């Protein structure tokens, strides 16, 4: 008897041990898989996404000042922004930014696993990684607000907390109401609504009728009555803000893409719960469960998810978005050569790239050599971004006018940008510079005081604060002192850029940038008569005629059949290229459409622009989000 019993015991123990070992191996495998996935995501974020580009494009403000805190405290959703902007400060370095994201998104599968365990919902393990993949893919939009990730993360945590309590009815009611209120205030109505709906689902999925009824009633109160009360009595919100504000409302300058993916990520928790429930409704054959538990299946699932993730992350649009962000980043950081070559790498046209390319070649002194290397599809508008009639490019326009030494106009546009983003550091820095140039050191000090509330801007503050304390020091600063003398004398600012440039030249005829931009404007606008009338003046800076001017002269001579003395000064290279273009056209009976594919060698020439790219012939218009 004893022997038998001992045998039996030994046998049982062996089975348990075996199971335990198997379970440990499974956990170990899962742990390795999770670690690998997260490590992969980290590398991907660091090397491909580059969080610093997010930081640059969004300029997420965070300051220690009371004014800044109050601004966020006063608003529904404000504290969510405050918190995420705080975290975004880590994005100024790729390493810290990637670590921050990885820390945030690694909580998602953990909390989801706990929720599912508490609900006793059976799930293939790789489903846990769905939110990780979704979140990572969203970072391809360089305007993707981190607050969305933070709000979803907090939502997962809130539901996790609720899932511990929801079987104890009284506790769960109090917890649900409190969490709902907090989510509503911190992140807005949409997050709170998803929380309410998730709680409703959790309760409906239970077998206990009493719990189903009380929990469901609580949830229904949350998603209907509470937002109504919040709207009616507590918060100054519009109906859509009060009930369905799923995504943060940000200024037009931070226009992120509200894609399907973003909404799927937002609703991922209730969607996964519904999916789980649907799976549990159907009786899954034991064999299938065994298969699903098998490590090979788990591995395959992970691989499928990785493939989907890889596909999501390598959409051509993602590379395009990164190129635009990187070019803007490089331009802002005065890495002109890199910026212009990267802009040229991108085959699809982009207005911001066009703008940054133009600025980069101007800064490297190649404006009149390389201007048409980038297709100037919007003509004069790509030189003067404020002509678009949109606030979107206000800060770029402000920087453009700063280059032109048109400081007042630069300041107007910086103020316009400041209205949209009251604490944007790029704008504040621009206002420091413009105010110092214009001699208003008090105003410059105000903005420096704001910037001093963030240690990231310490060097900028330390550099310019002495100018505030001692305005005479500006004379020692080459950049600022050079710009002081250029403000036009006439009072009102003309509507047309060419008039503005003429005003700048009238004030300071040695303003080479203004001359070059004026002549380019005439060229882009097909106003070669005006180009010719300003030609002598514009030549004061050169020994020989710049290549681009030669091309304009050739077009002028050809189109007016005039016999200019100047034609002798035009280089043979330009003449040959121009003649070759005309010959090619002639070869195809001057049929522009047919000849086009054979004129690739001329794409960077003025005559090609006039025939194929100019908005005057293409009638292309930029559609802007005002």
Partner 1 sequence: MSKSLPTNNSNIYNKMQTQFISNIKHVLIVLLVLFLSFACNEKIVDSVTENQKLEIFPDYDSIVMPFNIAPLNFYIKEKAEKYHVEISSSKGKSIVIQQNEPEILIPPKTWKKLLEQNKGELLHVNIYLKKNKQWHQYQSIENKIVADSLTPYLVYRLINTQYAYSKNMKLAQRNLENFDQSLIWENSSNKEGCFNCHSFSNYNPEKMSLHLRQYNSGTLMLDGKELKKLNTKTPYTMSPFGYVASNPDGELIAYSVNIFNEYFTNSTQNLNEVTDQASDLVVYNRKTNVVTTSPKISTKNRENFPSWSPDGKYLYYVSAGEAFDDFNSRFYSMYSLCKISYDKHSNTWGEVDTVFNALQEGKSITFPRISPDGKYLLFCLIDYGYFSINHRESDLYLMDLNTGEYSRLDINSEENDSYHSWSKNGRWIVFSSKRFNDLYTAPYFSYFDEEGKFHKPFILPQKDPHFYDDYMENFNIPEFVDGKVDLDPVKIRNAVFSKGVDVIFDNTVNVDALSGASWLQHHNGLNQNPSKQYQTTGQPEPAKN
DSSP-based three-state secondary structure for 247: coil
The CB-of-253 to partner 1 minimum distance in angstroms stands at: 11
Number of residues lying near partner 1 (CB under 8 A): 49
* d(C-alpha 128, C-alpha 111), whole Å: 9
Are 613 and 376 a contacting pair, CB within 8 Å? yes
The CA-atom distances, in angstroms, between 125 and each of 30, 41, 128, 302 are 8, 18, 6, 9
Q: Does 624 bind partner 1 (CB under 8 A)?
A: no
* 416-432 residues labelled b (16+ CB within 10 A) or e (exposed): bbbebbebbbbbbbbbb
Verify binding: residue 250, partner 1, rule CB under 8 A: no
Dist. CA 275–CA 124, nearest whole Å: 11
Task: Tell me: does residue 235 bind partner 1 (CB under 8 A).
Answer: yes
Closest CA to 202 of 117, 275, 119, 264: 119
Q: 610: closest CA among 367, 350, 372?
A: 372
Work out whether 577 is an interface residue with partner 1 (CB under 8 A): no
Strand, helix or coil at 502?
helix
Contacts with partner 1, 316-335, as mask; x by CB under 8 A: --------------------
Alpha helices of 336-453 — where are they, by DSSP H? 336-345, 351-363, 367-370, 394-403, 407-420, 425-438, 441-451
Closest to partner 1 by CB, 44 vs 415, is 415
Q: Is 233 in the site for partner 1 (CB under 8 A)?
A: yes
Which residues have C-beta within 8 Å of that of residue 230, sequence separation ≥ 6? 76, 184, 189, 237, 242
Binds partner 1 by CB under 8 A, chosen from 494, 529, 562, 621: 494
Is 480 near partner 1 (CB under 8 A)?
A: no
Near partner 1 by CB under 8 A: residue from 216, 259, 280, 446:
446
Handedness of CA 209, 211, 213, 216 (dihedral sign): negative
Complex with partner 1: residue 54 or 412, whichever CB lies closer: 412
Instruction: Tell me which of 260, 495, 600, 623 binds partner 1, using CB under 8 A.
Output: 495
Nearer to partner 1, 283 or 626 (CB): 626
The nearer residue to partner 1, 58 or 172, going by C-beta atoms, is 58
Over its C-alpha atoms, the chain yields an Rg (Å, rounded) of 31
Q: Interaction with partner 1 in 401-430: which residues (CB under 8 A)?
A: 408-409, 411-412, 415-416, 418-420, 422
Q: Which is nearer to partner 1, 288 or 493 (CB)?
A: 493
Total Cβ atoms within 10 A of residue 284? 13
* Footprint of partner 1 on 37-66 (CB under 8 A): 65-66
255 contributes a contact to partner 1 by CB under 8 A? no
Closer residue to partner 1 (CB): 206 or 487? 487
Residue 281 in contact with partner 1, rule: CB under 8 A:
no
**Cβ contact 479:366 at 8 Å:** no
Phi, psi of 127 (to 5 degrees): -60, -30
Residue 234 Cβ, how far from partner 1 at the closest point, in Å?
A: 7
Least distance from partner 1 to the Cβ atom of residue 470, Å? 16
Nearer to partner 1, 430 or 435 (CB): 435
Query: Which of 3, 442, 469, 600 contacts partner 1 by CB under 8 A?
Result: 442
- Locate 579 and state its tokens: 């003649």
Shortest reach from residue 412's CB to partner 1, in Å: 5
Closest CA to 60 of 331, 332, 251, 237: 251
User: Which positions from 61 through 90 interact with partner 1, judged by CB under 8 A?
Assistant: 65-67, 71, 74-75
- Which residue among 107, 306, 443, 620 contacts partner 1 (CB under 8 A)? 443
CA pair distance 580, 586, nearest whole angstrom: 10
Judged by CB under 8 A, does residue 571 bind partner 1? no
Does residue 438 bind partner 1 (CB under 8 A)?
yes
The site for partner 1 (CB under 8 A) is made up of 65-67, 71, 74-75, 232-239, 241, 391, 408-409, 411-412, 415-416, 418-420, 422, 435, 438-440, 442-443, 445-447, 449-450, 452-453, 487-495, 503
């Amino acid at each position: 008897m004893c022997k038998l019993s001992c045998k039996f015991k030994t046998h049982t123990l062996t089975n348990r041990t075996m199971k335990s070992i198997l379970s440990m191996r499974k956990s170990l495998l899962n742990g390795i898989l999770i670690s690998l996935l997260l490590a992969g995501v980290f590398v991907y974020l660091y090397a491909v996404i580059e969080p610093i580009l997010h930081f640059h494009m969004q300029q997420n403000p965070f300051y220690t000042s009371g004014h800044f805190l109050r601004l966020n405290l006063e608003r529904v959703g404000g504290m969510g922004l405050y918190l995420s902007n705080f975290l975004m400060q880590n994005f100024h370095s790729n390493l810290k930014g990637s670590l921050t994201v990885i820390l945030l998104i690694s909580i998602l599968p953990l909390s989801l696993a706990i929720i599912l365990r508490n609900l006793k919902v059976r799930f293939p393990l790789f489903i846990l990684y769905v939110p990780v993949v979704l979140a990572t893919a969203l970072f391809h939009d360089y305007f993707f607000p981190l607050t969305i990730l933070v709000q979803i993360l907090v939502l997962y945590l809130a539901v996790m907390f609720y899932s511990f309590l929801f079987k104890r009815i009284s506790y769960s009611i109090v917890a649900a109401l409190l969490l709902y209120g907090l989510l509503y205030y911190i992140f807005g109505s949409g997050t709170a609504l998803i929380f309410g709906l998730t709680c409703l689902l959790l309760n409906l999925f239970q077998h206990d009728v009493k719990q189903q009824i009380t929990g469901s009633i609580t949830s229904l109160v949350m998603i209907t009555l509470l937002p109504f009360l919040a709207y009616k009595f507590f918060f100054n919100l519009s109906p859509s803000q009060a009930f369905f504000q799923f995504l943060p409302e940000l200024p037009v300058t931070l226009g992120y893409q509200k894609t399907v993916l973003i909404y799927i990520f937002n609703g991922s928790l209730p969607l996964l719960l519904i999916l789980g429930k649907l799976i549990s409704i159907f009786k899954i054959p034991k064999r299938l469960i065994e298969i699903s538990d098998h490590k090979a299946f788990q591995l395959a699932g992970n691989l499928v998810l990785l493939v989907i993730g890889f596909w999501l992350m390598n959409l051509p649009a993602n590379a395009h978005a990164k190129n635009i962000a990187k070019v803007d980043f490089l331009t802002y950081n005065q890495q002109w050569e890199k910026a212009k070559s990267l802009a040229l790498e991108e085959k699809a046209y982009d207005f911001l790239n066009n703008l940054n390319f133009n600025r980069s070649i101007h800064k490297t002194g190649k404006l009149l050599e390389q201007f048409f290397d980038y297709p100037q599809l919007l003509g004069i508008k790509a030189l003067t971004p404020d002509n678009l009639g949109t606030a979107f490019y206000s800060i770029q326009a402000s920087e453009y006018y700063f280059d032109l030494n048109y400081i007042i106009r630069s300041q107007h546009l910086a103020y316009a940008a400041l209205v949209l983003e009251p604490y944007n550091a790029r704008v504040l820095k621009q206002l420091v510079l413009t105010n110092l140039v214009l001699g208003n050191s008090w105003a410059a000090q105000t903005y420096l005081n704001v910037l001093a509330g963030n240690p990231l801007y310490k060097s900028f503050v330390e550099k310019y604060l002495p100018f505030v304390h001692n305005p005479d020091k500006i004379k020692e600063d080459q950049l600022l002192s050079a710009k002081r003398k250029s403000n036009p004398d006439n009072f009102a600012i003309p509507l047309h850029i060419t008039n503005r440039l003429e005003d700048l030249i009238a004030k300071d005829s040695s303003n080479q940038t203004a001359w070059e931009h004026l002549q380019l404007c005439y060229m882009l606008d097909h106003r070669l008569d005006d180009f010719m009338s300003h030609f002598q003046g514009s030549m004061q800076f050169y020994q020989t005629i710049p290549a681009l001017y030669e091309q304009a002269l050739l077009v002028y001579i050809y189109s007016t059949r005039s016999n200019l003395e100047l034609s002798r000064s035009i280089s043979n290279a330009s003449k040959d290229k121009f003649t070759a273009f005309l010959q090619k056209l002639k070869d195809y009976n001057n049929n522009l459409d047919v000849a086009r594919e054979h004129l690739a060698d001329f794409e960077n020439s003025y005559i090609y622009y006039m025939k194929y790219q100019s908005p005057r012939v293409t009638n292309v218009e930029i559609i802007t989000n005002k």
